A = this chain, B = another copy of it.
Amino acid sequence: MEVTIHDIAKKLNFSASTISRALNNNLTISEASRKLIKKTAAEMGYRPNILAASFRTKRTNTIGVVVPLINRHFFASVISGIEEVAYKRGFTVTISQSKDNFEKEYKIVHTLFSNRVDGLILSIGMNTADFSHLKLFTDRNIPLVFFDRVVDEIEAHKIVIDDFGGGYRATKHLIKQGAKRVAHIGGPLNLKIYKNRQDGYLKAITESGLEIEKSLILNNSLTRVDGTLAIKKLMQNKKLPDAIFCANDTTALSVIIYLKEKGIKVPEDIMVVGFSNEPFSEVVTPSISTIKQPGFLMGEKAANLIIHQINNKEIKPEFETITMPTELIIRESSRRK
């Protein structure tokens, strides 16, 4: 049987209340008693029953995290950052993946709510358009932090990366390297992040006095297969692009592999820039220029933010949207000189 505070109380002729207070460093207990109690608690192998405490205090010291896919490098990095901070600050992290499936996301969020997580960090699914499940949290003032794929309609802390700036700089870079006809393979525009990347691209184009050509802009779900389809389509244009900005590295990879097969040289004939800095981007040939996203930092930030909210529930927070800087990494796929 496990040792409880009552066992300790009996042994020391204290009441259970005193034991509880002593163990929680309550100042109303004298230094002497506190020391004695802690010592014997340790000796007796006491382990607090967290369930009982959570039940009583309505705090679980648990943070729920929902991401679309765990085994995607960016998300894994964010999780890693969250876990690191949470652990240090005495929180446990519960992780689920929605697989970009609304049904699953809906159920996960309900489960986390039922499990009384103290806060929720999430990146919304690709197809999520209904946000009623998140109201479970907002309505009850349970801290909620979005990252990467955020929801405009809901007031909460949001941590995003500078997608617009990333798209802008990637495109600008291509133009500076001599590109005259920059194509873009983007993601679904209902997601802000892809919209922003695309807007950055458009801004760079117009700002440079180039023309926006609709035939050079395609949108899909950015998988390997979709990437190949997109580049095929692009190459059927009468006037070919001389550079392509892809909204993720996976697509950039598809493009590069396809062009290599066709004997078209990257970057000499067509330059390519991706987005996200996947691990493979550095090591493929040619290595892929890309936009680096600080996933781990985002995770740390998200965790710190939500823990701060959890510990200060009485004061209503000023919700802020934090934009993390991105960095253009220039590699072989876009280096001409």
List residues of A whose CB falls within 8 A of some B CB: 47-52, 54-55, 58, 60, 62, 69-73, 76-77, 79-80, 83-84, 87, 92-97, 104, 108, 111-116, 253, 257, 278-280, 283-285
**Which chain B residues lie closer than 8 Å to A69 at the CB level?**
80
A116 close to B50 (CB less than 8 A):
yes
Q: How many chain copies?
A: 2
Asked if A108 and B79 make an inter-chain contact with CB atoms under 8 angstroms apart, the answer reads no
The chain B residue sitting closest to A95, CB to CB, is: B95
**Structural contact, A92 and B70, CB atoms closer than 8 A:** no
Cβ-defined contact, A70 with B83, below 8 A: yes
| Residue of chain B at shortest CB distance from A61 | B115
Contact of A50 among B71, B92, B115, B283 (CB under 8 A): B115
- A99 smallest CB distance to B (angstroms): 8
Report yes or no: A51 in contact with B47, Cβ–Cβ below 8 A.
no
Q: Are A71 and B77 in contact (CB under 8 A)?
A: yes
8 of the cross-chain contacts (CB-CB < 8 Å) are A47-B114, A50-B116, A51-B51, A52-B55, A87-B104, A253-B283, A279-B280, A285-B285
Q: How far is the CA of A72 from the CA of B111 in the complex (A)?
A: 27
Q: With a CB–CB cut-off of 8 A, which chain B residues contact A50? A: 114-116
The CA of A122 and the CA of B221, in the complex, are separated in Å by: 34
- Residues from chain B with a CB closer than 8 A to the CB of A97 are 80, 83-84
Cβ-defined partner of A108 (8 Å) among B49, B54, B87, B96: B87
Task: Answer whether A80 and B87 are a contact pair too, CB < 8 Å, given A92-B111, A284-B283.
Answer: no
**What B residues does A95 contact at CB under 8 A?**
79, 83, 93-95
**In-complex Cβ contact of A284 among B71, B113, B284 (8 A):** B284
Chain B residues near A115 (CB, 8 Å)? 50, 92
Beyond A71-B77, A79-B95, 10 additional pairs, beta carbon < 8 A: A48-B114, A49-B55, A50-B114, A51-B116, A55-B55, A62-B94, A94-B95, A253-B283, A257-B283, A284-B284
Q: What is the CA–CA distance of A94 and B63 in the complex, to the nearest angstrom?
A: 10
* A87→B96 contact, CB < 8 A: yes
**B76 lies within 8 A of A70 (CB):** yes
